[in-house]
Structure 1
Amino acid sequence: MFKHILIPTDGSALSDSAVTRGMRLAREARARVTALYAMPEYQVLTYDAGMMGDTRELFETQTRARADTILGHVKHIADEEGVPCDLVAVANDRPYDAIIHTARERGCDLILMASHGRRGIEGFLLGSETHKVLTHSKIPVLVHR
């Protein structure tokens, strides 16, 4: 059975549901979990070089605080379920790439993630991180809907 499960989260209600289900699966399988939050990378949005330093620092502080809040909630769920859980936050504008890379790097044997169920033009325009993980991952992926 699975021994190390990667559970990526974006902090949404749907992701929360997948986290809860994933922790229950991990408890039943006696597996450990790595929870992942992919933070957006800093983008330069100004021509004024003087603003870039302050803006970058503020962006990184706020992004890190959001990651800590989201992963703290995941840790709380893991503790309630009695599941060992490592918390990882990485900066990457392509979450699917961060998910696959982290799963490989950490030796995970399953990725369990939510799907927002976007279809049609919305799915095409917004893209589906879950679909990209399914397409590119060599590690099994379990999708929670």
Structure 2
Amino acid sequence: MDEFLIGSNTEKVVRTAECPVLTVKGPIPNLQIRNIVLPSDFKREIGTAVEKFKYFQQMFGAKLHLVYINTPGAFESSSNLRARMQKAAERYGLQNFTINVYNDTIEEDGILHFAEETGADLVMMATHGRTGLSHLLSGSIAEDLVNHSDIPVLTFHLK
């Protein structure tokens, strides 16, 4: 119950840190970041984090796999989603990327399944860093992901 109400220490760091947070579950011998998964809804909010995403992609010389997790509760057509993602990629000047729509029951599972299937070395995502009642009501996909992913997760605040 405490973890549900308060969250793990890792979740607290992800929620409150003003700098990017890299979460790694354990030792990873010979870590090479070649494939980065970037899950998002690709709406306006992502713009505040795009420069950070691009910086880390360029630093690692990695391919960026843009992915929208299409769920039954928020289903959209694949063609509309791909068009939105392509527009976002052009607007923000992304390079060396793929566009992907992945269907799953919930976002967190979809991100994990897609990352595993693509052989991702890193998942990068933005978080709102909500606290208090808004955090309790809305939750955080990024915080859930860092608790369940064996793949390193790099999070950035949208603030």
Same fold (TM over 0.5): yes
Whole-angstrom distance in 2 between the partners of 1:7 and 1:132: 16
Mapped pair 1:142 → 2:154: yes
Mapped pair 1:72 → 2:86: yes
* Mapped contact 2:38–2:123 kept (Cα < 8 A): yes
Shift of 1:94: 1.1
Secondary structure at 1:124 match in 2: helix
Aligned length: 126
Counterpart position of 1:14: 45
Secondary structure at 2:42 match in 1: coil
Going by fraction, where is helix more abundant, 1 or 2?
A: 1
1:102-113 equivalences in 2 (<5 Å): 102-113=114-125
Counterpart position of 1:32: 63
Secondary structure at 1:144 match in 2: strand
The percent identity for this pair of structures is 24
Counterpart position of 1:57: none
* Mapped contact 2:66–2:99 kept (Cα < 8 A): yes
Whole-angstrom distance in 2 between the partners of 1:6 and 1:134: 14
* Mapped contact 1:23–1:33 kept (Cα < 8 A): no
Whole-angstrom distance in 2 between the partners of 1:33 and 1:3: 9
Q: Report the TM-score, using the length of structure 1 for normalisation.
A: 0.74
Larger Rg: 1
Shift of 1:9: 1.0
Shift of 1:77: 5.5
* Mapped contact 2:82–2:99 kept (Cα < 8 A): no
Whole-angstrom distance in 2 between the partners of 1:27 and 1:76: 17
Structure 1: gaps (5+ residues): 44-59
CA 1:16–1:99: 2 relative to 1, 3 Å: farther
Secondary structure at 1:7 match in 2: strand
Q: Which amino acid in structure 2 is aligned with residue 35 of structure 1?
A: L
Q: Report the TM-score, using the length of structure 2 for normalisation.
A: 0.68
1:116-127 equivalences in 2 (<5 Å): 116-127=128-139
| 1:87-112 Cα deviation digits (max 9, x unpaired) | 11122341111111111110111110
Counterpart position of 2:23: none
CA 1:16–1:92: 2 relative to 1, 3 Å: farther
